[in-house]
Amino acid sequence: MIAKTAAGGGPTLLPEVLAFSSSLEQDRALLFEDLLGSLAHLAMLGRRRIIPLEAAAALHRELVGLWQAARAGSWSPQAEEDVHMAVEAELTRRLGTDAGHLHTARSRNDQVALDLRLHVREQVVQALLALARLVEALAARAEADAEVLLPGYTHRQRAQPISAGYWWCAAGAMFSRDLDAFRFVHRQLDASPLGVGALAGTSLATDREIPRTLLGFSRLTLNGLDTVGDRDFALDFTYAVARTCLHAGRLATDLVDFSSSEFGFLHLGDAIACGSSLMPQKRNPDVFELVRGKSGPAAGNLLALLTVLKGLPLGYNRDLQEDRGPLLGSGPLLRGVLGALDVALPHVVFDPAATVRALEQDHTQATDLAEALVRAGTPFRTAYQLVGTLVRRAQELGQPLGRVPPEVARAVDPRLEPALRLARDVQASVRSKESAGGTGPRSVEHQVAVLRAAAVEGRALAGSIPRLEQLFDVLREVTW
């Protein structure tokens, strides 16, 4: 074993201390990032002639071999303090003392800072691609359901008529903001930390630009003391994941409610409707309930990371090792949520007859009635009071607003009778709302176009970010 003390010439750690302090099991997820960082650092050492070229060539050969063996499943890191020391231990087993050249002018502090940035960058690519696919799917559903009428809700009370296309666009708008959030994450992490060492740089003639270029970062981190303790990019990532999962949960809640017999607005296909072990009639929306439930651990990961970072001094502190659980768990959690939506949403179908029935049996056109009076010259507050009186009268009669007899409207105020005709056509109510961001058809068409543009932009950014395999293809052919 090459625990930190042994690598420095000191005594071996107590087994209990090593077991308690080891992060290897979690670090296994960072193996390929660590190998890439070592290849890029080695290229710099060789090009700057800081280590013998023969040693550099041997290390390069073995690092490439470790990558290929790990990909093939024929090698994995053995028991060590962390993945960095596990790789060094394996190189030492293969090359002897020449393996010690690799750690020249670097520290595990800048190694892990690099590994985590590479990991998060890879996760960002996958998040962008999954979100772009979801936003495009929501835009397509908005077009397909453009003519389906639906009650819009505030306070979970029927409020105004909307189209189901508009409702799908609302979900798409949430996830398009998540695309923005992951773009921000990428901007924040797009700086190479490699070469700052433990905290203060090195007296050797290194060049941080070489690994920066090879690893595809746009800039260098500014200050080594800050760099090794910086996990802001990890916070940004876990926040973006948590927020996306919260948004997924909000969409899931509507789907759960709308598929219930109390609403009856949509049907779940057999492929996603789960049954009951006791009640044979049940068709449960388990997939959407689980999507909603995942927002809990996603928010927990963010809170855990915030708590780890709270009150730490500048520089590296071993507390930072506790970033692994919440950070490494967030990517798979997000992919699970977005993957579930991807496969489940095509099996969700609105029932237009049921949704129209809900509108026609209620008073959701009241605002349209008030606005009709406004167009005729009535002050809005007066119109609001008149329509409110009419709605109460309709409720007393047990009738929806669209079926109130003209004489009832006339008895409240003669101005209401001609306006009442608008309340009989919920389709006209939806079509009339062409203000920016409204539920009118032209407005929804514009929203669909914006969502599709956001998806294209997200996919383009994902395509511009170097992937781990692409970096390996470059680094395996590096020359001195």
From the list 155, 261, 277, 435, the catalytic residue is 155
Comparing CA positions, the residue from 331, 315, 267, 256 lying closest to residue 291 is 256
Average pLDDT rounded to a whole number, residues 331-336: 98
With beta carbons less than 8 A apart as the criterion, state whether 458 and 183 touch: yes
Average pLDDT rounded to a whole number, residues 345-365: 95
pLDDT at residue 5, rounded to an integer: 45
Average pLDDT rounded to a whole number, residues 436-457: 98
C-alpha to C-alpha distance for 18 and 3, rounded to whole angstroms: 8
From the list 76, 218, 260, 276, the catalytic residue is 276
Average pLDDT rounded to a whole number, residues 277-306: 93
Comparing CA positions, the residue from 162, 238, 230, 163 lying closest to residue 193 is 230
pLDDT at residue 318, rounded to an integer: 95
Is residue 276 part of the annotated active site? The answer reads yes
Instruction: For the chain, give the secondary structure using H, E and C.
Output: CCCHHHHCCCCCCCHHHHHHHCCHHHHHHHHHHHHHHHHHHHHHHHHCCCCCHHHHHHHHHHHHHHHHHHHHCCCCCCCCCCHHHHHHHHHHHHHHHHHHHHHCCCCHHHHHHHHHHHHHHHHHHHHHHHHHHHHHHHHHHHHHCCCCEEEEEECCEEEEEEEHHHHHHHHHHHHHHHHHHHHHHHHHHCEECCCCCCCCCCCCCCCCHHHHHHHCCCEECCCHHHHHHCCHHHHHHHHHHHHHHHHHHHHHHHHHHHCCCCCCCEEECCCCCECCCCCCCCCECHHHHHHHHCHHHHHHHHHHHHHHHCCCCCCCCHHHHHHHHHHHHHHHHHHHHHHHHHHHHHHEEECHHHHHHHHHCCCCCHHHHHHHHHHCCCCHHHHHHHHHHHHHHHHHHCCCHHHCCHHHHHHHCCCHHHHHHHHHCHHHHHHCCCCCCCCCHHHHHHHHHHHHHHHHHHHHHHHHCCCHHHHHHHHCCCCC
Average pLDDT rounded to a whole number, residues 64-80: 94
Given a cut of 60, whether residue 6 has pLDDT beyond it is no
Q: How does the average pLDDT of the chain come out, rounded?
A: 94
pLDDT at residue 2, rounded to an integer: 55
Lowest mean pLDDT across 79-88, 232-241, 432-441: 79-88
Is residue 155 part of the annotated active site? The answer reads yes
C-alpha to C-alpha distance for 363 and 397, rounded to whole angstroms: 13
Cβ neighbours of residue 224 under 8 Å, at least 6 residues apart? Answer: 110, 196, 197, 199, 200, 201
Both tokens assigned to 455? 């998806």
Given a cut of 80, whether residue 276 has pLDDT beyond it is no
**pLDDT-derived band of residue 9, with 50, 70 and 90 as boundaries?**
low
The CA-based dihedral angle spanning residues 396, 399, 403, 406, taken in that order and rounded to the nearest 10 degrees:
-20
| pLDDT, tens digit (0-9, with 9 covering 90-100), for 128-138 | 999 999 999 99
| pLDDT, tens digit (0-9, with 9 covering 90-100), for 377-399 | 999 999 999 999 999 999 999 99
Average pLDDT rounded to a whole number, residues 153-180: 97
pLDDT at residue 82, rounded to an integer: 92
C-alpha to C-alpha distance for 61 and 53, rounded to whole angstroms: 12
Lowest mean pLDDT across 77-86, 197-206, 459-468: 77-86
The full set of domains in the chain, from first to last, is 4-104 (1.10.275.10), 109-350+447-472 (1.20.200.10), 365-431 (1.10.40.30)
**pLDDT-derived band of residue 261, with 50, 70 and 90 as boundaries?**
very high
| pLDDT, tens digit (0-9, with 9 covering 90-100), for 10-20 | 667 788 888 89
